[in-house]
Amino acid sequence: MSFIPPYDNKQDDLLQQLFNELFREHEHKLYAFAAKVLRSDAQTKDIVQDVFLKLWTIREQLHEIENMDAFLYRLTENRVYDYLRAAATREKTRQELWHRVQAVTDTGTIPLEAKEYHQLVQQAIEQLSPQRKTIYLLSKEDGLKQQQIADELQLSPHTVRNHLAEAFRSIRNYVKRNLNGFFSFL
């Protein structure tokens, strides 16, 4: 996971050596710290890489940092919070969009194209595996949060999150494959 460009002069060589030592010493501890919160290997790796990228960009000020452990943990914690805030915003936007679509659907005044689209979505939902369909419907129709679904079905929140992500992906792919020129006017 070394992403450090080579440098020629002595000071840069010393900084690179110091950086490499810091990376080797702290990478696994920071990964474990972030993984406890995120429970996603890919996101955790991205955050740890961002932390060390930030450290690399300020490498010339490394000598000014009095407590490197505290500095790196704070930097990691901030990156985790940033990620969680962004994820919460994405989920909130997705929920709002879903509720708006449901409101239009419930009024009974749906244009023909929207009805066809809604039918495609319903067909896609029917194509989901039983467990994935149950999780999706508990989330979208019953409005349960991921933790509530996990508790009700006795699953881990990570499993619920994965099933929801796969359900969205499957539905989106099914609709794309079956649109038959639905959006040809765009």
What are the tens digits of pLDDT across the range 110-125? 555 667 777 888 888 8
Q: What is the DSSP string of 125-139?
A: HHHS-HHHHHHHHHH
pLDDT at 113: 60
CATH second-level architecture of 10-85?
Orthogonal Bundle (1.10)
Name the residue among 45, 35, 33 with its Cα closest to residue 69.
33
DSSP H stretches of helix in the chain: 10-38, 41-57, 68-107, 112-127, 130-140, 146-153, 157-177
pLDDT at 60: 81
Distance CA 31, CA 21 (A): 16
pLDDT-flagged residues of the chain (< 70): 1-9, 100-114, 180-186
For the question of whether the overall pTM of this predicted structure is more than 0.85, the answer is: no
Structure tokens at 54: 């930030």
Q: Where are the domains of the chain?
A: 10-85, 110-177
Assigned CATH for 110-177: 1.10.10.10
pLDDT at 77: 92
pLDDT at 75: 92
